[in-house]
Amino acid sequence: MDGYLKDKSVLIIVVISPKYKMDVEGDGSDQHGLHTKYIHTQIQNEFIQQRCLNFRLVPVLFPNANQSHVPMWLQSTRLFRWPQDTQDLLLRLLREERYIPPPLGKELTLTIKPL
């Protein structure tokens, strides 16, 4: 698990649900053995170290969840709603852009004339 967390080329899907919020904000016990709180702390630390820029977290909001279930530190990043944002989510996971930017034109020349 730590190998995937440390490998910066791996995207991390954060499935946001009421259960996730209870797991990460709960009393600290991990009864189902998924290490949710540990993973949450690790990705939160990485997010803070990256100066709150999100390079590899992909938060997915499930139908039974709403904005209040999203951790405060993750609310400034792009959320994907399941299943409405399926196409955008797939593009993000494939690291592809929805819109292809147009090619750059000729380089502009700046001429300064004194008055």
Residue 35 confidence (pLDDT) above 70: yes
Length, in residues, of the chain: 115
Tokens for 39?
């993973």
Mean pLDDT of 7-15: 88
Mean pLDDT of 91-104: 85
pLDDT tens across 39-53, in order? 888 889 888 888 888
Q: Model's pTM, two decimal places? A: 0.73
Residue 41 zone, left/alpha/beta (φ > 0; ψ -120 to 50; rest): alpha
